[in-house]
Structure 1
Amino acid sequence: MLATLVIGLREGLEAALIVGIIAAFLRRNGRSLVPMWLGVGAAVMLSLIIGVTLSLIEVALPQAAQEGLETIIGAVAVVFVTLMIVWMNTHARGMRAELESEAQHALGRGGATALAVMAFLAVLKEGFETSVFLLATFSAAQSAGLAALGAVVGIALAALLGWGIFAGGVRIDLGRFFRLTSVFLVLVAAGLVVTCLRTAHEAGWLNAGQQRTIDLSAIVQPGSIQAALLTGVLGIPADPRLIEVVAWVAYLVPALCYLFWPRRARPSAAGAQRLRWVLATGCLVLAAALALTAWLIPSPQVSSLTLVDQASQAPAGSVVIAGSGAARSAAFTYASGATADLPLDASTAASDTHLGVTTQHWQQTATTSPDGAPSTITLDALITLAGGRVPVGISAVQNPGPFTAQWNRTEVDEVWLTGAGLLDASAHSTLTVTLTGGGLQNARTVSVTDTAAIDAVTAPDAQSVASAAATAVEQGEGERVLWGAEVPGALVIAAAVLVISALRHRARAPRGSHPAPSSPPPEPPTPAISIAAADHGRTS
């Protein structure tokens, strides 16, 4: 409630001041106020329509899309409040003079209609900013009802103050008022930055930088005053994440420095130039350091896996990544001493999701004839190899044997690779015998027991290590992009803005001019403003 009250008061008072100054100017020049009030009413209605429309659109969207829209609205609100603070901090002292000058020009161009349009646009700007900022604050508030009540109370107070200023009974030190409310709005906007990053994560747009930093649950308990202040007003969650803390500090510290840096300590023109170059250099150095740190830290790699027998869990061998480039392969070595080699050619890989991780999958099937296998086999020996049963399709009466036997061992080797290397592997073999003769009219293929069968899978502990490494690498890619590309990119953009600003100020400076060695004297305090005094020709 407090946040929306201050927002309504601040934005409403800005609009009230603009309307009051225009109204005083019109009255002093003997013009009707009706066109101005029509413009103000139209602007207020349009602002309400914008706010209600955005709210209805958000409610109608699916959950993820709602989070995405809240992110966009919050980001726009942060931009609006930042620009508003900067503009008001620069123009608050001369706002009345500037508005009266613009009103004089508008009156000369189009009379009262031009001033009505001027009032409409001014109030619409404030109303649109208020709608977006309040909507973003409602999304982060613990109670939408209290937040709405705070906004209504703030706007009502702003209207009363505006009327009091217009009537001449209220005097406000605008410089101090806007300075104090700017501090509060900076804190709220910093909280909105955190909220935007949280909703961006919930929308699936931002999955990096989600490491927990501090647990505030003992302080931010639901229903407590601390929770209302920290979470409801300042937007600080009970479990702030790393990217949220970094963004909060990155917004709050420069904004507060901008508001409270002593005027006497502000650098001269030449000093400001040097400061811009120093800050640009610092941004580039920090960007390079982040990029190098993010991309040069090695990722965990798994180059070998232990294999066990699927049934007994006894050691069955291992698989190792051998070679590199086009000659890379997965080399299987079994406990019996047998080996197999699976080429890892990129052109034969299949994309697959295995164990919850995106992988490249290779599979190889090889058929060989076992050494020493007999060329003939009796019915009794066949029954023994078939597990004590007569194989399907063979009759002991009609097919008494012996049979001519052709033996085949089929082995299927598989590996799954991720950015972390090996994730999983398996090897399975089956032994079949194709029988002819012995009373058979047609050839019969029968699966039989294989004493040298391979039924190897990845050992559970090795698979856990590989899965953890694959997950870490998969998550690490997002972290690398964030800290190694996106954040350094933002710093490079900031450095470019500082360089352009320095070059522009340098081009504007007259050649041969020398900056004053001492800082400019402090400006006098902002006088209290009374709009009604303008009607009598005196300065407040």
Structure 2
Amino acid sequence: MFASYLIGLREGLEGALVVSVLVAFLVKSDRRDRLPLVWTGVIAAAVLSVGFGALLTFTAAGLGHRGQELFDAITSLLATVFVTWMIFWMRGAAWSLSGELRSRLTEALRLGPVAVVVMAFLAVAREGLETALLFFASVQGATTTASPLIGISLGLLTSIVIGWGLYRSALRIDLSTFFTWTGLLLILVAAGIFKYGVHDLQEANLLPGLSAQAFDISAVLPPDSWWGALVSGMFNITAQPTVLESLAWVAYALPTLVLFLRPPSSRRPASPASPSSPSSSASPASPAEKAA
């Protein structure tokens, strides 16, 4: 449940920040009449994300054993790529994200209502599709309980509350610290997902070594214990992994952690100037815009 909660919280907060910036810009620019267009795009993106998650689930359920293992492996590897890209992208682009969103929304307002809907849809859809793919990949083998679904739902609800609090100036958090710590945890989650993908490729007979066990820590990490279930559910760490699985986990986790923890080589880039408008230029950025 915790891994699913973390996914929902991290991805949901990124989406909430995007929506907060768009809403704050329209309110400050005295364009409240365009808010329904933004919400239409956001709702459409949410529907697409849920539909994508359902498609992944039904596709996997309709395949045979070997096909399902291969499908799970592909989604796990894709999720690893996307979450890694997202972690590093957010660290580098967070400072300029608010200005870029305001610039795109200004251009969309100039083009017309459809452009505003499409812009809001595209801004949120990426986060939603990533969330669906990452959630599907992270809960493989845990689909017999409702804990993963409860976890991601609680994470999304928490992110909405935080996003609303930032927008209303009722909450102030150090987003740099937040994204650093959640990034570290997500790297460990992604390492487990990558390991799981390698195991699925072994199950599909596309990689060798399924019977080559690296070690056995069942005495320390019993599968039927609460702590064994917690570690396994969070990071896909199993008590009896294969040699190839273990090598895959280490090969992903160590260099990714080193790169993520490496101090940035340049100073924080200056945020782009906000689009020119009498109301937006005269008033300071809202907490949501500063946060993004």
Q: TM-score range by the shorter chain?
A: 0.7 to 0.9
Which protein is richer in strand relative to its size?
A: 1
Amino acid across the alignment from 1:184 = L
* Partner residue in 2 for 1:21: 21
Q: Determine whether 1:242 maps to 2:243.
A: yes
Sort the Cα spacing of 1:129 and 1:59 in 2 relative to 1 into closer, same or farther, 3 A. same
* Partner residue in 2 for 1:214: 215
* Partner residue in 1 for 2:66: 64
CA distance in 1, matches of 2:59, 2:139: 15
Q: Determine whether 1:8 maps to 2:8.
A: yes
Asked whether the equivalents of residues 223 and 239 of structure 2 are also in contact (C-alpha less than 8 Å), the reply is no
Alpha-carbon deviation of 1:218? 1.0
CA distance in 2, matches of 1:217, 1:100: 53
Q: CA offsets per residue over residues 114-151 of structure 1, 9 Å max, x none?
A: 23211101211111111111111121437541011001
Asked whether the equivalents of residues 93 and 174 of structure 1 are also in contact (C-alpha less than 8 Å), the reply is no
Q: Which has the larger radius of gyration?
A: 1
Q: CA offsets per residue over residues 223-266 of structure 1, 9 Å max, x none?
A: 32331232111101111222112111111111111121134xx5
Asked whether the equivalents of residues 28 and 535 of structure 1 are also in contact (C-alpha less than 8 Å), the reply is no
CA RMSD after TM alignment = 2.1
Of 72, 78, 102, the residue aligned with 1:76 is 78
Of 97, 100, 106, the residue aligned with 2:99 is 97
Of 73, 85, 88, the residue aligned with 1:86 is 88
Asked whether the equivalents of residues 75 and 137 of structure 2 are also in contact (C-alpha less than 8 Å), the reply is yes
Sort the Cα spacing of 1:30 and 1:243 in 2 relative to 1 into closer, same or farther, 3 A. same
Report the secondary structure of 2:236's partner residue. Answer: coil
Q: Determine whether 1:158 maps to 2:162.
A: no
Alpha-carbon deviation of 1:96? 1.5
* Partner residue in 2 for 1:145: 146
Alpha-carbon deviation of 1:47? 1.0
Asked whether the equivalents of residues 142 and 228 of structure 1 are also in contact (C-alpha less than 8 Å), the reply is no
Q: Determine whether 1:53 maps to 2:58.
A: no
Report the secondary structure of 1:243's partner residue. Answer: helix
* Partner residue in 1 for 2:284: 538
Sort the Cα spacing of 1:42 and 1:29 in 2 relative to 1 into closer, same or farther, 3 A. same
Asked whether the equivalents of residues 22 and 99 of structure 1 are also in contact (C-alpha less than 8 Å), the reply is yes
* Partner residue in 1 for 2:275: none
Q: CA offsets per residue over residues 39-76 of structure 1, 9 Å max, x none?
A: 11111111111111110111111122111111111111
* Partner residue in 1 for 2:198: 197
Instruction: Give runs of aligned pairs for residues 99-498 of structure 1, distance below 5 A.
Output: 99-108=101-110, 110-141=111-142, 144-208=145-209, 211-263=212-264, 266=265
Which protein is richer in helix relative to its size?
A: 2
TM (norm. structure 1) is 0.48
CA distance in 1, matches of 2:141, 2:90: 25
Where relative contact order (Cα < 8 A, 6+ residues apart) is larger, the structure is: 2
Amino acid across the alignment from 2:23 = A
What is the aligned residue count? 275
* Partner residue in 2 for 1:41: 43
Amino acid across the alignment from 2:54 = V
Report the secondary structure of 1:93's partner residue. Answer: helix
TM (norm. structure 2) is 0.87
Amino acid across the alignment from 2:79 = A
Alpha-carbon deviation of 1:93? 2.2
